Amino acid sequence: MRNGTIGVLMCVVFAACAIPGTAAAQSMPEGKTFALAAELLRGYQNIQRNLTEAAEKMPDDQYGFKPTPEIRPFGQLVAHVSLAQFNMCARLKGEPNPHKDDKEEATRTKADQIALLKASTTYCDPLVSGLTDATMTELVKSDQNQVAKGLFPMSLVSHGQEVYGTMAVYLRLKGIVPPSTERMNQMKEKEMKEKQMKKPSQ
């Protein structure tokens, strides 16, 4: 958990420092406030969207695809992140993991995998959105340890980003554009069209 948490913290700090600087360069009248709980929630929501859309983009008949024999097939990646989220959020909630007996290697259809992923998101959503800057530092018991509540969403984001990055490679190998890249390309195209419309006609 430690390495991933440090990475998430660095991203949050970078966003808080870099974005206001960009705003100043554009002569923005006011800066923005980047609160810890709100930024973690935003990061969590973004990665849930990316994971779900990546799982939906891969064709059903490619869920068994793996680039090399030694690594997980695509479908198992979906199950892996789903079950990890159930485990992490059960610890945050202080209750037994509702899917503790499920195995990521179990045979599932694409529909089953997506349903499991969405169920894990639904389970985690109220726990992450309910955190505030004040409650982020509250301690909860996790096995023999006392863990700050804010570390759980940080781990969800860092682990989710790791798995999504792997899923994106699988998609690329099948000629499929990952969802985050697709959205970015759409935004760029929209901006270019808007700029062209604003150009004075000659």
Place of tokens 């935003």: 42
Q: What is the pTM of this model?
A: 0.81
Distance CA 144, CA 73 (A): 34
Tell me, which fold does domain 35-175 have in CATH?
Four Helix Bundle (Hemerythrin (Met), subunit A) (1.20.120)
Q: Residue 143, by phi and psi: left (phi above 0), alpha (psi -120 to 50) or beta? A: left
Is 110:60 a contact under the CB 8 Å cutoff?
yes
Asked whether the beta carbons of 177 and 55 are under 8 A apart, the reply is: no
- The string of pLDDT tens digits covering residues 27-59 is 566 888 899 999 999 999 999 999 999 999 999
pLDDT, tens digit, 9 for 90 and up, residues 59-78: 999 999 999 999 999 999 99
Helices (H) and strands (E) in the chain, counts: 6, 2
| Percent of the chain with pLDDT strictly greater than 90 | 74
| Spans of all domains in the chain | 35-175
Query: How far, in whole angstroms, is CA 200 from its chain's centroid?
Result: 42
CB 96 within 8 A of CB 61: no
pLDDT tens across 152-175, in order?
999 999 999 999 999 999 999 999
Distance, in Å, from the CA atom of 80 to the CA atom of 104, rounded to the nearest integer, reads: 5
